[in-house]
């Protein structure tokens, strides 16, 4: 029993000392450089129409979507490949700058330490720091490297590349909308021309520009004729008291009254139509429907043209920019590993494991006794 206790004490003490030695003397000291950035969307300020509904959602949710999209890209193999060309990260993760427990090698027997694209990407993502703060809509971006200056340069390069790719995504999105709007513009133009042709055809068939205007004009003529008729009838009745009906003047007045009455009848016939009010209502409804379709298709065509021009502007410029709130700087001291914190954590873990094993051994020997 005593021998086993001594053995486990020596074993756990050796593990603790080895862990301390690794943490303080072997583990790579990495310097983390951080920068805070914000995505500024200029399209929301420039667009005054409903185009935003085709391209984006609300400003808060849109900012989160952009941030998450950016995070996915920064963690991707595409970004790693871009940084690898500039900073040779592949050689870095194989070099002596990285301690043996994190170094990739072609001779390793463990899959997690094989030199492969997958493991390179994993090690790269371990050194990355991306935190999105929703209230301020800012992104904290950081990278840890054995060289403090290189860490700062990598963060700056990530920001530069992210700004380019963010606008590339936005422009591609706008180009999809642009293609859609171009097709819609052709359809709306054809509808507008078709409704215009239908209206012109109707006007030619009915020999009228606007039934409502014609009716108003005829009503004015009718009112004037009826007023003139009343005057002539009053004059005829007045003169009939002292002039003979066969008198030339009386015959002339009676003839005028007859022609005015005839004109009134013809005018009323033109207003109401040969089939009466039913024909008039049909003409008015047909014309109103055709004119309404023309105005509706005209407005649709105008709106499509406006959206099309706005989208062309969005495609031709950078609408989303990365604003650097706080610049990356060269770290004065290493950030990782947190030596004292890691030492305390290992001590607690080893003591917990030792306590469990010691308790099990006591139970076993007590059971034997």
Residue 93 confidence (pLDDT): 92
Task: Give the tokens for residue 13.
Answer: 């003490």
What's the mean pLDDT in 350-361? 84
Residue 319 confidence (pLDDT): 66
- DSSP codes of every residue in 230-289: HHHHHHHHHHTTTS-TTSHHHHHHHHHHHHHHHHHHHHHHHHH-TTTHHHHHHHHHHHHH
Residue 49 confidence (pLDDT): 43
Share of the chain above pLDDT 90, in %: 22
**For all residues of the chain together, what is the average pLDDT?**
81
Residue 110 main-chain phi, psi, to 5 deg: -95, 130
pLDDT at 227 over 80: yes
Of the ranges 102-116, 166-180, 324-338, the best mean pLDDT one:
324-338
What's the mean pLDDT in 65-92? 92
Residue 158 confidence (pLDDT): 95
More confident site: 313 or 341: 341
What's the mean pLDDT in 45-66? 54
Taking the domains of the chain in order of start, what are their residue ranges? 1-27+338-369, 30-181+317-337, 184-313
What's the mean pLDDT in 254-265? 82
What's the mean pLDDT in 170-174? 71
Please name the fold of domain 30-181+317-337.
Bacterial polysaccharide co-polymerase-like (3.30.1890)
Overall pTM surpassing 0.85 (yes/no)? no
- pLDDT tens-digit readout, 34-54: 999 998 876 655 444 444 444
pLDDT at 67 over 70: yes
- 334 three-state secondary structure: coil
pLDDT at 289 over 80: yes
Task: Give the tokens for residue 62.
Answer: 């849109």
Residue 322 near residue 169, CB atoms below 8 Å: no
User: Which of the residue ranges 50-54, 266-270, 348-352 would you say has the lowest mean pLDDT?
Assistant: 50-54
* Among 23, 125, 16, CA closest to 71: 125
pLDDT at 347 over 50: yes
What's the mean pLDDT in 310-317? 69
Residue 72 confidence (pLDDT): 92
- DSSP codes of every residue in 92-147: HHHSTTS-TTT--BTT-SSGGGB-SHHHHHHHHHHTEEEEEETTTTEEEEEEEESS
pLDDT at 211 over 70: no
Q: CA-CA distance, 107 to 104, in Å (whole number)? A: 9
More confident site: 141 or 255: 141
Residue 318 main-chain phi, psi, to 5 deg: -90, 105
Please calculate the CA angle 157-158-164 and round it to the nearest 5 degrees: 95
More confident site: 139 or 109: 139
Residue 326 confidence (pLDDT): 92
């Amino acid at each position: 029993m005593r021998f086993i206790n001594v053995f486990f004490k020596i074993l756990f003490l050796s593990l603790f000392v080895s862990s301390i030695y690794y943490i303080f003397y072997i583990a790579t000291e990495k310097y983390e450089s951080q920068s805070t950035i914000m995505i500024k969307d200029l399209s929301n300020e420039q667009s005054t129409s409903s185009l935003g509904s085709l391209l984006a959602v609300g400003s808060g949710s849109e900012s989160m979507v952009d941030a998450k999209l950016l995070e996915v890209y920064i963690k991707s193999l595409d970004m790693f490949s871009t940084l690898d060309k500039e900073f040779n990260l592949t050689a870095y993760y194989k070099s002596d700058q990285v301690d043996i427990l994190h170094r990739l090698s072609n001779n390793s027997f463990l899959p997690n330490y094989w030199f492969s694209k997958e493991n390179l990407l994993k090690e790269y993502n371990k050194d990355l720091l991306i935190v999105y703060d929703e209230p301020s809509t800012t992104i904290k971006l950081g990278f840890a490297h054995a060289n403090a200056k290189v860490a700062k340069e990598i963060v700056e390069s990530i920001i530069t590349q992210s700004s380019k790719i963010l606008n590339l995504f936005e422009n591609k999105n706008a180009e999809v909308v642009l293609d859609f709007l171009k097709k819609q513009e052709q359809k709306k133009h054809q509808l507008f021309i078709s409704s215009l042709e239908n209206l012109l055809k109707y006007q030619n068939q009915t020999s009228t520009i606007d039934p409502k205007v014609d009716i108003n004009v005829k009503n004015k003529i009718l009112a004037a004729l009826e007023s003139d008729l009343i005057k002539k009838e009053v004059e005829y009745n007045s003169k009939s008291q002292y002039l003979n009906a066969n008198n030339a003047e009386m015959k002339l007045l009676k003839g005028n009254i007859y022609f005015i009455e005839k004109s009134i009848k013809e005018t009323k016939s033109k207003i109401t139509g040969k089939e009466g009010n039913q024909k008039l209502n049909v003409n008015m409804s047909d014309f109103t429907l055709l004119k309404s379709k023309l105005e509706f298709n005209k407005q649709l065509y105008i709106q499509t043209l406006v959206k099309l021009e706005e989208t062309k502007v969005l495609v031709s410029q950078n609408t989303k920019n990365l604003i650097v709130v706080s610049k990356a700087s060269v770290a004065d001291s290493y950030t990782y590993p947190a030596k004292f914190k890691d030492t305390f954590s290992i001590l607690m873990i080893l003591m917990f494991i030792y306590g469990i094993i010691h308790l099990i051994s006591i139970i076993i020997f007590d059971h034997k006794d």
